[in-house]
Amino acid sequence: MSERVKQMIERLSEKLSGVEREALEAKAELWSAVEQAGGARRYVEAELRRRGVFVERQDVLAMGFDEKKAYVERVAAEQEVRRPLQSKVWAAYTALHITHLGEEVFWQGDVSVDFFDPDHLAARLEQKGLPPLERPEDLCEALGLTLSELRWLCYHREAATSLHYRTFEIPKKTGGVRRIWAPLPKLKAAQEWVLRSIAERLVVHGAAHGFVAGRSIYSNALEHLDSRLVVSMDLADFFPSFTFKRVKGIFRQAGYMDGIAALLALLCTEAPREVTEHEGQRYYLALGPRCLPQGSPASPALTNAACLRLDRRLAGWAAKAGWRYTRYADDLTFSVPASAAEEPSVSQLLGVVHAIVAEEGLVVRDDKTHVMRRGARHQVTGLVVNDATPPRPPRELRRRVRAMVHNVASGRGLREGESLSQLVGFVAYLHMCDPVEGRRLMEVLRGA
């Protein structure tokens, strides 16, 4: 057994039962013997010779009837021993190697070979403070998984009988529903590791405010205070737009070799699927390529990394044309300061943004584009920014929250469709914009 395999088993000892550890050690010992023999074919042949059943292959066309019959019987007897031996060798190999990851997913066994990889990968990983993952075993160690568990989480099937996600729908404020893909515990833990150890450490543009530490809808709105003109746009199908290939490219750009980047991308993506039944069996049929699921803890940070060039291009053009620019997830906001000498062309803005967004593989939703001029309410990520005062929730929401707090404090209770957890969330939301008012309302609730 190689030292590398011994270390892997030792690291996993707390996760494995005694029987599982013994089974993995046995497979590791077997594969070590296979490697010493010079490969699977030579190992199997040596074992067959040792057991006295190996048959040298001969030309049956030159044999008589009786000789041929005896030869065929010897070969058949050998096959009875050969097949179980080959199965054991294959089981040992798959326990210690990634072999195949599903339809249309390229996998190269030797992850150290990468003909298309740029130079200085190790330096790029070190510069970003990213974990140096060189082999699948390194990723297993980081995630606390066996190789078979990693392969199980990454494997792609066009028609799957089970998923690593549970799906549900939540209503959108603007109508319709949003499908959420919530990963099951084992995959969620892996995605959270990718988020903390890699995705959150990738370069993000200063215009991005969503899912960035220290930033929020409040910091996003703060950039657009006291504007004479505000234009907001939405990107269509934001998370599904970042397919497996694009996500893999994020990890490649970060500095990981092709094989590791593929594993990381498979952990963080899933295909949109439709549930159907056939002959009593439920199937989850892939409707398109794997993409970032909305509900994965790693998805938001990965979209920020994927939008780096988009943000650079939009921010660069906006600065030259007299606009301010920010992005919160799929919400793009442009504004012109009230102090600007003249008002830039809105039609030019819309044309340039549509072109840049399309070149980056995304689409602007025309039905969600809003132009807010003087005299209208300027609302950015839900907060009002009409003047130089700090961003604030709309007056209607503030009044509603105060009324809810008053009803609870006076013993009247909440109305139908309202809940205490919803009220606490509203108060926390107000506190983000106005800490004094938020603390006052929270104190009233605590005293109720």
Note the pLDDT of residue 86: 93
**Tokens in use for 245?**
């290939």
Amino acid in position 179: R
Q: How far apart are CA 318 and CA 335, in angstroms?
A: 9
Q: How far apart are CA 122 and CA 412, in angstroms?
A: 64
- Check whether 13 has a pLDDT greater than 70: no
**Tokens in use for 306?**
């994927």
> Hey, how many other C-beta atoms are within 10 angstroms of the C-beta on 196?
13
Note the pLDDT of residue 1: 59
Q: How far apart are CA 372 and CA 378, in angstroms?
A: 6
Note the pLDDT of residue 2: 63
pLDDT tens for residues 61-100? 888 888 999 999 999 999 999 999 999 999 998 888 888 8
**Tokens in use for 125?**
């990983």
The runs of H, that is alpha helices, within 344-394 are: 346-359
Contact yes or no for 304/211 (Cβ under 8 A): yes
- Check whether 371 has a pLDDT greater than 70: yes
Note the pLDDT of residue 417: 80
Contact yes or no for 283/160 (Cβ under 8 A): yes
Mean pLDDT of 44-50: 93
Amino acid in position 143: L
- Check whether 361 has a pLDDT greater than 70: yes
Least confident among 175-189, 253-267, 358-372: 175-189
Q: How far apart are CA 53 and CA 45, in angstroms?
A: 10
Note the pLDDT of residue 271: 95
Note the pLDDT of residue 119: 66
**Tokens in use for 72?**
């065929």
Mean pLDDT of 303-309: 96
- Check whether 419 has a pLDDT greater than 70: yes
Distances (CA, A) of 397 to 159, 292, 384, 391: 46, 33, 11, 14
- Distance spanning both ends of the chain, measured CA to CA: 67
- Whole-number percent of the chain with pLDDT over 90: 60
Note the pLDDT of residue 105: 84
Q: How far apart are CA 131 and CA 139, in angstroms?
A: 9
pLDDT band at 106 (very low <50, low <70, confident <90, very high): confident
Nearest to 366 by CA among 375, 358, 376: 358
Residues listed for the chain? 448
Q: How far apart are CA 253 and CA 60, in angstroms?
A: 57
Would you give the DSSP letter of residue 414?
A: P
Place of tokens 């160690």: 141
pLDDT band at 174 (very low <50, low <70, confident <90, very high): low
b/e burial code for range 144-167 (CB count within 10 A of at least 16 → b): ebbbebbbebbbbeeebeebbbeb
- Whole-number percent of the chain with pLDDT over 70: 94
Note the pLDDT of residue 115: 60
Amino acid in position 446: R
Amino acid in position 341: A
Note the pLDDT of residue 433: 87
pLDDT tens for residues 130-161? 999 989 999 999 999 989 899 999 999 999 99
Render 63-88 in DSSP notation, one character per residue.
S-HHHHHHHHHHHHHHHHHHHHHHHH
Least confident among 23-27, 175-179, 230-234, 280-284: 175-179
The residue among 216 and 17 whose pLDDT is bigger is 216
pLDDT tens for residues 379-403? 999 999 998 889 999 999 999 989 9
Rg of the chain on CA atoms, in Å: 30
- Check whether 176 has a pLDDT greater than 90: no
What integer best gives the mean pLDDT of the chain? 90
At 253 the three-state DSSP class reads: helix
Note the pLDDT of residue 96: 85
**Tokens in use for 206?**
């200063």
Q: How far apart are CA 309 and CA 128, in angstroms?
A: 18
Contact yes or no for 159/286 (Cβ under 8 A): yes
